[in-house]
Structure 1
Amino acid sequence: MTATASHLPQDEVHVWTLAVPGDPDTLATFRALLAGDELARADRFVFARDRHNFSAARGALRMVLGFYLGITPQAVVLHYGRHGKPNLAKEFGLRFNLSHAGSWVYLAVTSACEVGIDVERLRAPGRHSRLDLARRFFSVDEVAHLAALDEARQVEAFFACWTRKEAYIKLHGRGLTLPLAQFAVSVDPDQPARLEATPWLPGDLQRTRLYDLTAAPGYRACLATGSTRALTLQQRPWSAFPPPAN
């Protein structure tokens, strides 16, 4: 049995959620786990809040990966794809993705397939600036759906669409080299998340699933998985880490 299989069944995706702590001791504990390049990156942030958020996110990532791999957090070696997506060596058989916004960190980990995750804090720009932003980044159909909604629902719909699109491009690890307007997702925040059109890669309509995640008030979050089969999703608060051994 591999280190991943002992804690992570092959048909499950675990999503860990962390509210970034404010106390210096906990933040120092996270920071102490970072590698040299991560420390350098953290120290490049101008604002302390951003340094703390990055350090907490990367420290939590190392703790989670170390748990599933059966090694210490400091022993986790991260590699980076062409467009900056972090990953592990293939022999570990573990895929993950990380996102943080505001005071929240979301981390998805699985042995089943590639994953992408995104969390965003809802902000309420003016109606016209919101639609103008959608016209820059969303597909024609997505813009039309957004514009047709009541103004009161547009903020959440905008971020529902945004997190669904971001999770999808993070699944592929291509960043914004894949223009957001070249594919479409569902827009209505009250309807299930789904990929609706991918002209550049039609097969993804069958092998990609989107899942809206539970989020704190004022936030939206979404998970994308690259699997043709439905996976069991377990969303877990940081207070439950580490989980009991199976």
Structure 2
Amino acid sequence: MSIAITNTLLDKTKDFSIDETLAFLANEFKGKVVFSTSFGQEDQVITALIGKNNLPITIFTLDTGRLFQETYDVFHKTLKKYQIDIKTYFPETSAVEELLNQKGPNSFYESVENRKECCFIRKVAPLTKALKGNEIWITGLRAEQSENRNDLDLFEYDEKFDIIKFNPLLKWTLEEVQKYIDDNNVPQNALHKQGFVSIGCAPCTRAITADEDIRAGRWWWESSHKECGLHQK
């Protein structure tokens, strides 16, 4: 059924602009459309589109407890600029306490399994709570972010979370994202000017060089698919 809805949405919105599609979804799925932001460049573009059009779309973020101060800074600037609400979800205190008591604060460096455990507690579990009861999940995914995302479509059914994803910036280039930010004076994480492209938790993110893959700065010590479990691709 959800796959059929996905195909219907692809057809109905094929000639819409991003603004028109966001407005259409907000009207078609009243109170059931959410946007997850981590305050990266792509997410800031989408927040600007929602904010300037005053769309009834719930914006939320996941505070893992290990974020950069620069991320909190752009969070604050975004609230002030667009006068919007951004709901914050935290990991369960007991789960974090148990993890640190059993394995210490840096267990994620020791194995992919440990890293995914930390990501699950700090990100996946809170995301599951945030998405519950909703029908459309708006994301900032772009095809060029990784090879795994090249075959994504604008609308996708996410079986793991039983929800339809809308990826409005899927075909945008990083240059197009940056141009929108510059042209519209959108608040931007200061780390982007320091070589950080994909920004997550502070201990798991580093700057990249010009010849490195866009996701190379995430979990740089391991050779995995560079995903945390929020998105399968």
Answer whether TM exceeds 0.5 for this pair.
no
Higher strand share: 1
Higher helix share: 2
Q: TM-score, normalised by structure 2?
A: 0.26
Q: TM-score, normalised by structure 1?
A: 0.25
